Amino acid sequence: MRHRFLILLIFILSAIPVVYSQSNVEKLNDSAMALYKQNPKQAISILEEALKKSKNDPKLFSFSQNNLGIVYRDLGQFEKAKSLSEEALKHPRDSFAIASAYNNIGASNRSLGNYEDALNAYLNALHIYENKEALNEVATVNNNIGMVYSYLGINEKAVQYHLKAIDVFEKENNQKGISQAYNNIAIIYANDGELDKALSYFQYSLVIEEQLKDKKGIAESSNNVGAVFYYMQEIDSALVYFKRSAAIEKSIGNFAGVGSSYNNIAQVLIENERVDASKLFIDSAYYYAKKSKTAVDIETALNMYSQYYEAKNDTKTALKYFKEYSNYKDSILNFDTNAKVAKLEIEYQTETKEKEILSQRADLAEKELDLSKKNSYILGLVGLAIVLSLLGFLFYSQQKLKNRQLQKENELKDALIKIETQNRLQEQRLRISRDLHDNIGAQLTFIISSLDNLKYGFQLPEKLSDKLKTISEFTTTTIYELRDTIWAMNKNEISLEDLQTRISNFIEKANAAAETVSFQFEMDSNLPNELKFSSVEGMNLYRIIQEAINNALKYSEARNIKVLFRKEENNLKISIIDDGKGFEETSIEFGNGLNNMKKRAHEINAQFKIESRLGNGTQVSVILPE
């Protein structure tokens, strides 16, 4: 699915008089930006005319350049769009023109996969719009920042920014903004597996785009509705929406949109055994993605080629494209990018806090000055006796005010120290996570790649090939566990919803691997939604549940496995129950797996129990005080 959002300045369509002046050039710009959604080619022609007429006015020329950049970005020509907006920054007309150019540069960099540069440009635009109290523009940029975090998989941060945007858009009755923000949140729900909720949001967005008659918005929303139908295995419906999206994108000349839609169609065809029909769509997707230089779509097309040749049993060509796909993916998205993006966010928040501190100090200074003037007037009107009395009162008042000021400054210093401490902790987490990812993760990935090269490059005996496959699968599992650890380390705290989502994903994978076992996950409705765990608690609970399920699959011969979250008195009780063959508790010794579960529970001050009888299954329980 595409995560694309475009911010535009929409102006009133005006007639173009015969005599050209500064106001006439502005009207040319207004006319172009009012119609470019319906007819981008005509809009480009009008803006090129505006550039010719404004050569002697650098500020007006740059204004036309940036608008032309917005249109080219909407058509998927991101390099050209970014270059025009960067040129426009050399002679900006005003602060709003600067902010608009930064926003367009940010959107272009986001589509090109330059996420750090995108966030940097968006934050520059946000500073300007906040200072100007331009609410709609602030909301739009917040929505765009949310999309950067969504691309990087930092969904919690992404949702925060999208909700900020929705709050303003609804107050301002900005239907386009509402559509785009809900569309972006729906993408996050879809990626988290909440398909019914995602489909509802996407369809709501599509209705708004159709009411606005925005062809590009209709194409994007149609594509996303099709993607949800694909995940829901409603293949025919998915193809209808994907083809509708591709046709609209082609009609408006948006090459990036065409490439994305063709990639989606190819994936549906391959996965539903229509392999021969998919090749034409993969070729077209790769052509349009390269033409628009859209990083995500180039990466997807290379992956589609690998899947296509694998389905055709051409393993040599499949491996060639898989290597190209892996190398390209690593080149545009790595852990350093996540760390740099987090650092930019921290710098921005710290700067905002410092501004608040300076503002409060200025207010206190003004109040002191006002109080001093009033006291001077009083001293001039009263007699010596009253003056002596007021001097004492004045001294008391000033001392009290100073005490309050000192208290306020101490509170502000404490808040700043706390922020700096959190920043240092976050930097340490990022450094450790980066080391895990770059060193251990890269080494494990190299092992898998080497094993795959052995399998594809040599004719190996069957037993040796099976052994290599087992090692590759074990290494892949280790990478998943490493990612789980990095996931926990990058969070200050883990919510009950985060833990539930992680466990649900694990259960889905286990369910797919064990076809004879039925899984059930239940959550007590009495559990508070705001219940949160530290990263250590959350990771230990997840590992205990993981180990208990794996033990049940390996040893119990169970047909049903349940994971239950219950509130008992003031405790959270997590139970993993199977209906397998069970065992006599007195006759079994604790192995590494059971000892590890017991040790993890002890580390988070939780009770750990195992209850089992022969023929009556097993129940593993963890009881944690809320």
Tens of pLDDT, residues 114-141: 888 988 999 999 999 989 888 888 888 9
Q: How many CA atoms lie within 13 A of 402 on its CB side?
A: 6
- By three-state DSSP, how is residue 314 classified? coil
Residues 437 and 501 placed together within one structural domain of the fold: no
Q: In this structure, is residue 469 part of a structural domain? A: no
Which residue matches tokens 């006319």?
Answer: 31
Residues 600 and 614 placed together within one structural domain of the fold: yes
pLDDT confidence of 384, banded at 50, 70, 90?
Answer: confident
Q: What is the DSSP string of 340-358?
A: HHHHHHHHHHHHHHHHHHH
Residues 231 and 210 placed together within one structural domain of the fold: yes
CA distance readout (Å), 98 to 12, 124, 128, 202: 21, 9, 8, 32
CA distance readout (Å), 301 to 45, 50, 252: 32, 38, 22
Residues 322 and 340 placed together within one structural domain of the fold: no
Q: In this structure, is residue 486 part of a structural domain? A: no
Residues 261 and 357 placed together within one structural domain of the fold: no
Indicate the pTM of the whole model: 0.41
- By three-state DSSP, how is residue 213 classified? coil
Q: What is the DSSP letter of 624?
A: E
- CATH classification of the domain holding 172: 1.25.40.10
Mean pLDDT value across residues 222-248 = 88
- By three-state DSSP, how is residue 619 classified? strand
Q: What is the DSSP string of 454-517?
A: HHHHS---HHHHHHHHHHHHHHHHHHHHHHHHHHHHT-SEEEHHHHHHHHHHHHHHHHHH-TT-
Query: Among 114, 136, 160, where does a domain finish?
Result: 114
Cβ atoms 88, 63 nearer than 8 A: yes
Cβ atoms 532, 493 nearer than 8 A: yes
Q: In this structure, is residue 131 part of a structural domain? A: no
Share of the chain residues as helix, strand and coil, in percent rounded to the nearest 5: 75, 5, 20
Count of beta carbons in the 10 Å neighbourhood of residue 546: 19
pLDDT of residue 489: 61
Alpha-carbon gap, residue 113 to 232, rounded angstroms: 28
Residues 355 and 430 placed together within one structural domain of the fold: yes
Residues 290 and 317 placed together within one structural domain of the fold: yes
Residues 233 and 275 placed together within one structural domain of the fold: no
Q: What's the CA angle centered on 479, arms 477 and 482, to 5 degrees?
A: 115
Q: Is the pLDDT of residue 624 over 80?
A: yes
Q: In this structure, is residue 557 part of a structural domain? A: yes
Residues 391 and 414 placed together within one structural domain of the fold: yes
Q: In this structure, is residue 443 part of a structural domain? A: yes
Instruction: Read off φ and ψ for residue 303, nearest 5 degrees.
Output: -65, -40
Query: Among 333, 364, 398, where does a domain finish?
Result: 333
Residues 370 and 446 placed together within one structural domain of the fold: yes
Q: In this structure, is residue 585 part of a structural domain? A: yes
Mean pLDDT value across residues 43-64 = 88
Q: In this structure, is residue 466 part of a structural domain? A: no
Task: Count structural domains, the chain.
Answer: 5
Query: Among 410, 430, 456, where does a domain finish?
Result: 456
Q: In this structure, is residue 461 part of a structural domain? A: no
Cross-strand pairs, 609: 621
Least-confidence region, from 40-44, 262-266, 370-374: 370-374
Residues 616 and 504 placed together within one structural domain of the fold: yes
Domain of 396, in residue numbers: 336-456
Q: From 233, 235, 294, select the one nearest 265 (Cα to Cα).
A: 235
pLDDT of residue 328: 83
- CATH classification of the domain holding 558: 3.30.565.10
Residues 327 and 345 placed together within one structural domain of the fold: no
Tens of pLDDT, residues 517-574: 888 888 888 887 777 888 888 888 888 988 888 888 888 888 999 999 988 888 889 9
Cβ atoms 84, 71 nearer than 8 A: no
